Amino acid sequence: MTEQQQLSQIYLDANATTPVLPAAAQAALATMQTQFGNPSSSHITGLQAKQIMEQTRSKARKVIGASSGQVIFTSGATEGIQTAILSALYQAKQSYNSNKKPCILYGATEHKAVPESLKHWNHILDIHSEIKAIPVDKDGMLDLDFIAKEVSNALMICTMAVNNETGAEQDLSKLETVIRSNNPNTYWMVDCVQALGKVELKIANTSIDYAPFSGHKLYAMKGIGFVYIREKAPFTPFIAGGGQESGLRSGTENLPGLASLNVIFDELIGQGRGVFATKETLCDYRDQIAKALTTAFPTIVFNNNFACSVPTTLNFAIPGFSAKEILDLFDAANIRVSSGSACSSKVTGSFVLDAMGLPQTQSEAAIRLSFGPAATQAEIDAACERIAYCARALGHSCLVNMNDLDNKSKLDGLVQFKVGGSCCWLFVDSESKEAVIIEPLAELTQRLLTVLECQGLKLRAVIDTHGHADHASARTQLLNDELKTQKTDHLGWPAQCNVVTVDMLTLPFIDVGKFALVKIATPGHTQDSISLALCHKAELKAGKFNSLYTFCGDLILMGTLGRTNFESSDASQMYQSLQLLSGLLEQDSLLCPSHDYNNEFVTTLNAETQRNQLLADVVSVRIPVADFMKKKAKLDSHIHDQANQEIMCGALTSCSQNHSFLELNNDALQAHLDDTKDVQLIDIREPHEYALNHAQQFDKNVPLTRLANFIGLQRLNKNQPLVLVCRSGSRSSVAAQTLVRLGFEHVAHLKGGYALAQ
């Protein structure tokens, strides 16, 4: 790809992994090129390798304060966790009294490696003990009363010193008192991965039986870690073989990893170059970042309590923004942070924050920002400056209202907002600055109000296409003073409106600048269902019905039809409504349903009749109404509403998208551009991401929220070759699918997106 306006990377995801310190990388390189021996070899090269290994072990003991017990090198903490759990449970199995119904305890906020390993070994070893999560309080601190009550019966208890998502630091000495005063014999593992280098450990002074550590969380290489095992704690090798590590962990040792760890240990015991900052300095860094974040995003909420967290982790949410949006924003500004939750379209919260009892919105929107002890003042300053820059970028999209910003991305036409599977539409006539909102969703109220104000728009109406079963309308929260006094029906349609006659039909409409929003009664899904068609007013008045966008509610959904098994549903009415609408609309006119369960954005009658036989049969009157009703009832019988889950407004069918389009890698892109005439290169990210950073040649920005608008404009020019790009190739791929489904003939996207093109 050609030159990209680049900002240097600011890496703030140290809890996931860290870069290797230059001195550690050098030491590792030396063990690959010169001191590359096998520590088991008895010749000089081998002896030199063994010397590095033993020196590293002795430094490890110093770092964690382990004068006794074993320190065994592993591939990382996950292996250390297996070793500890296998050892403890295998021994417990030999000695437990099966009548007593023992349990296994672990902290509810442990890294998944712990509960998953417990489940695994509990099953493999045929123990079948109950595995219980120890609850935590709002700060992530373990419930000591729960432990006191349960631990006497526990084969093993697993806790962590510092949490990876929140930095919450447990009080190990209090924990020890509770555990040991109730059960001196249970095996206790403490996951120390996120504590290394951040918390002083004097492990010999404790009764901790097992403590796993990992190198790559503290500037050593990936693939190296170690586990401490208390003297007399039971031990079973997790890996048997050539007898390395005195037979405790077989396999040729990872000497480069060990050499890198050796350098890190030097830093920790004060024999290095002094690259690690003191705790006090790290606290100052945290305060500085927290201040920058709060200034940039005044509504920010912090999910971790700084008073009981290590200073290197900040976990926060910005109300009104999803974790994915903030990640995309920061990534565009070349700041790397991570989300607390898995970033999928079906939003899931962070189980750690859920266990702490934080509100779901906070958990779903959680962002983790973490740095390591090698952070420098210059890096923190740069991060703070960049955070402010990110916030200003949001002003481009009018997602925050910044009066002093002069190059805001101007809205004109249709914008599609989504919350889960539900859609909300904003239509703007930029000339008159008039706007209308269709299907208002409560989660979007603040965002819509901000956009309206930021763009200086005059709201003409807020309308629902029917009384929704799955959510309450947020209509009244959006009304301006003028609209509040206007008389409307329960869906927001004004009592006073114009009418026009088209094909002998008398249709009411309201003005939105030079456009007209026409109401068409389309009952079926519910008795009150309407469709709203946006037409050019002049054309309409001349008797020509040419809808640019038809908001069809839950009449036609993408890949299916709206359900007709509600109390106020009527499948025979739906049959009539489908015929009415199909008679009015052009085959290629865009349909904008109120749901998009599969990331398909918009559709057309043409696209739907190709994949929905039932709809095709109704439209072409090949099926009598009675048969339609039977088939429809069968289709709806597939919907099974479950408590606490989104109510589905139509039965999903198996007609998932699978439309082929060109997937180009970076090299193929240039060849494609050379071979294809008049290609339009489109950056599909949101305007704030685009404003922060984009490739020069991708000089057109069509955010996904305006894909429907773009398709509407391009309706008659489907031969236009297009190449789409986004951050990772995921958004460009779903947009390409939609374009191809709607008949665009030459669509390609950059596989891997900007991420792989740099």
Q: Given the rule CB under 6 A, which residues bind ligand PLP? A: 76-78, 111, 113, 160, 164, 191, 193-194, 214, 225
- Closest CB to ligand PLP among residues 113, 394: 113
Calpha distance 231→124 (Å, rounded):
26
CB of 104 to ligand PLP, least distance (A): 17
Packing angle of the helix pair 377-396, 323-332 (nearest 10 deg): 110
Calpha distance 186→530 (Å, rounded):
66
Tokens of 681: 């290169």
One-character DSSP codes across 136-191: B-TTS-B-HHHHHHHGGGEEEEEEESB-TTT-BB--HHHHHHHHHHH-TTSEEEEE
What phi and psi, each to the nearest 5 degrees, are found at residue 31?
A: -75, -10
Q: For residue 224, which of 20, 75, 16, 61 has the smallest C-alpha distance? A: 75
CB of 189 to ligand PLP, least distance (A): 11
- Closest CB to ligand PLP among residues 116, 381: 116
Q: Is 288 helix (H, G, I), strand (E, B) or coil?
A: helix
The total of other beta-carbon atoms located within 10 Å of residue 501's CB is: 9
CB of 340 to ligand PLP, least distance (A): 13
Q: In the chain, helix, strand, coil percent, each to 5?
A: 35, 20, 40
CB of 160 to ligand PLP, least distance (A): 6
DSSP classification of residue 442: G
CB of 309 to ligand PLP, least distance (A): 14
Between strands 367-370 and 338-339, the pairing is antiparallel
- Closest CB to ligand PLP among residues 191, 608: 191
Calpha distance 386→393 (Å, rounded):
10
CB of 183 to ligand PLP, least distance (A): 24
Q: Is 59 helix (H, G, I), strand (E, B) or coil?
A: helix
Packing angle of the helix pair 255-268, 22-33 (nearest 10 deg): 150
CB of 217 to ligand PLP, least distance (A): 6
- Closest CB to ligand PLP among residues 78, 577: 78
Q: Is 498 helix (H, G, I), strand (E, B) or coil?
A: strand
Question: Does the active-site annotation cover 655?
Answer: no
- Closest CB to ligand PLP among residues 60, 400: 60
- Closest CB to ligand PLP among residues 369, 558: 369
- Closest CB to ligand PLP among residues 261, 426: 261
Inter-residue contact 249 to 83 (CB < 8 Å): yes
Tokens of 593: 């349903």
Q: For residue 183, which of 262, 100, 272, 70 has the smallest C-alpha distance? A: 100
- Closest CB to ligand PLP among residues 160, 329: 160
CB of 191 to ligand PLP, least distance (A): 5
Rounded to the nearest angstrom, the gap between the alpha carbon of residue 493 and the centroid of all alpha carbons in its chain is 37
Q: For residue 326, which of 601, 688, 707 has the smallest C-alpha distance? A: 688
- Closest CB to ligand PLP among residues 84, 557: 84
Inter-residue contact 507 to 500 (CB < 8 Å): yes
Q: For residue 414, which of 505, 554, 277, 532 has the smallest C-alpha distance? A: 532
* Residue among 308, 343, 497, 655 flagged as catalytic: 343
Angle at 192 between CA 75 and CA 239, to 5 degrees: 30
CB of 77 to ligand PLP, least distance (A): 3
Catalytic residues: 343
